[in-house]
A and B are shown apart, each in its own frame.
Chain A
């Protein structure tokens, strides 16, 4: 493990964990990306880190928000991203409302009291209630994990930071299909938008010890 990284004022107070798009579509072999023969395995590498962060957040009483990519069954809400840039996602039924594909993976299933934000764009802030949830709970620090590092995680992190949330991206709890885009996304986010940290840095900051750590 690399040396412990600067977590600034991160603690349990005014902090939320935001888990991005950890859905069957992306990280299960039978999900849309698996059916497209894309590298879902690299995305699944984010799962153990997300599981540990979620367990830590529940233990520490930290607010948990799950973001879910969900499209209408006919993809009428997909916009130019689906219509013109990636029509294949529609053909393979990626994250279609009401399907198993769109469900959050079993080990991260939200429990009572955790909020789920449905979105149909990369950023979890765009046309969603996420910001209102965070403001109402007086959240200042947002810890972000999930998939994919360079797309939905990075778009969300850029938006969180612009909205003046102190933003932490957990590198070893994120996944991207290509290693170079994973690495570069962390560099980009670290340049102006976020502190790049590890799962252990966050658990230490929350003063949480997990039995299986």
Chain B
């Protein structure tokens, strides 16, 4: 793997860091999923966001948002995970779909709403990245095996160099976290740590 990361032509993609996934009162917790494994991604994401702002690397947040009646959920909601309707996972306009108080997008940072795992599927993400001349995507957030991995598979197919940040991503089950990083590292991305990304960007954080 020869891919080198710098801050040039690079964007940070923060995937689905929303109350519904991260908060003990959120939908995932209500469904009995181990939300703490998702919340574990938060400190790493916060450090990456802080560093990106310092290095002038654009930060883009994705946000999983469904219509209140889940009419846009498709087969994944209707047939595979209908239980998320009962708890109102990431319904538009609700607290569940919102970002946590302590990691809200700053003025000028882009938010991409999506209703499928991939952040590229029927969203404006590609149209934001191309005009900026972005070639490298540093990807963090949740969940590792589902939305992060689907987004990374898509990014690489679209010829972005993808860098997945191991300690800034989380999955509800340890085995799916481990194998997802292995899968992405096999063919789709370079796997890095937060500190390696900061070094690549030449950024030091005072609270590191």
Stretch from B49-57, B124-132, B180-188, B192-200 at the A interface: B180-188
CB <8 Å contact, A126 and B157: yes
CB of A107 within 8 A of chain B? no
CB <8 Å contact, A123 and B3: no
CB of B1 within 8 A of chain A? yes
Interface residues of A in 168-203 (CB under 8 A from B): 180-181, 184-185, 187-188, 191-195
The interface residues of chain B lying within 8 Å CB-to-CB of A123 are: 153-154, 157
A154-167, CB under 8 A of B: which get 1 and which 0? 11001101101111
Q: Which residues of B contact A (CB under 8 A)?
A: 1-3, 74-76, 79-81, 116-118, 121, 145-146, 149-150, 153-154, 156-161, 175-176, 179-180, 182-183, 186-188
Partner of B75, one of A79, A165, A184: A165
Contact residues of B: prevailing secondary structure: helix
CB <8 Å contact, B80 and A193: yes
- Interface size classification for chain A: 20 to 34
Contact A162:B2 (CB < 8 A) given known A191-B146, A192-B76 = no
Contact A155:B176 (CB < 8 A) given known A85-B187, A86-B187 = no
CB <8 Å contact, B118 and A188: no
The interface residues of chain A lying within 8 Å CB-to-CB of B160 are: 80
List the count of A-B residue pairs having beta carbons below 8 Å apart: 93
The interface residues of chain A lying within 8 Å CB-to-CB of B116 are: 162
CB <8 Å contact, A84 and B1: yes
CB <8 Å contact, A121 and B157: yes
CB <8 Å contact, B161 and A84: yes
CB <8 Å contact, B157 and A158: no
Contact residues of A: prevailing secondary structure: helix
Contact A192:B157 (CB < 8 A) given known A162-B118, A164-B75 = no
CB <8 Å contact, B117 and A181: no
Chain B min CB distance to A141 (Å):
10
CB <8 Å contact, B2 and A84: yes
A62-101, CB under 8 A of B: which get 1 and which 0? 0000000000000000011100111000000000000000
| Distance between Cα atoms of A209 and B186 in the complex (Å) | 39
11 extra interface residue pairs, beta carbon distance < 8 Å, beyond A181-B179, A184-B179, A192-B76: A8-B79, A121-B157, A122-B187, A123-B157, A126-B157, A161-B76, A161-B80, A162-B74, A164-B74, A181-B182, A192-B80
The interface residues of chain A lying within 8 Å CB-to-CB of B146 are: 188, 191-192
CB <8 Å contact, A150 and B183: yes
CB <8 Å contact, A162 and B179: no
Sampled A-B contacts (25; CB under 8 Å): A79-B157, A81-B157, A81-B187, A81-B188, A84-B2, A84-B161, A85-B1, A86-B187, A121-B157, A150-B186, A151-B186, A151-B187, A154-B183, A161-B80, A162-B150, A166-B79, A180-B179, A181-B183, A184-B179, A188-B145, A188-B176, A188-B179, A188-B180, A191-B145, A192-B81
CB <8 Å contact, B117 and A81: no
The interface residues of chain A lying within 8 Å CB-to-CB of B188 are: 81, 85
| Distance between Cα atoms of A166 and B153 in the complex (Å) | 20
Chain B min CB distance to A22 (Å):
19
Q: Chain A: which residue is nearest B3 at the CB level?
A: A84
| Pairs of residues from A and B, 8 with the lowest C-beta to C-beta distance, nearest first | A184-B179, A164-B74, A121-B157, A162-B116, A79-B159, A126-B157, A162-B121, A164-B75
| Distance between Cα atoms of A187 and B188 in the complex (Å) | 19
Q: Chain A: which residue is nearest B161 at the CB level?
A: A80
| Distance between Cα atoms of A91 and B16 in the complex (Å) | 39
| Distance between Cα atoms of A13 and B40 in the complex (Å) | 45
Chain A min CB distance to B62 (Å):
14
| Distance between Cα atoms of A91 and B175 in the complex (Å) | 34
Partner of A161, one of B75, B145, B157, B183: B75
Partner of A162, one of B117, B157, B176: B117
The interface residues of chain B lying within 8 Å CB-to-CB of A184 are: 175-176, 179, 183
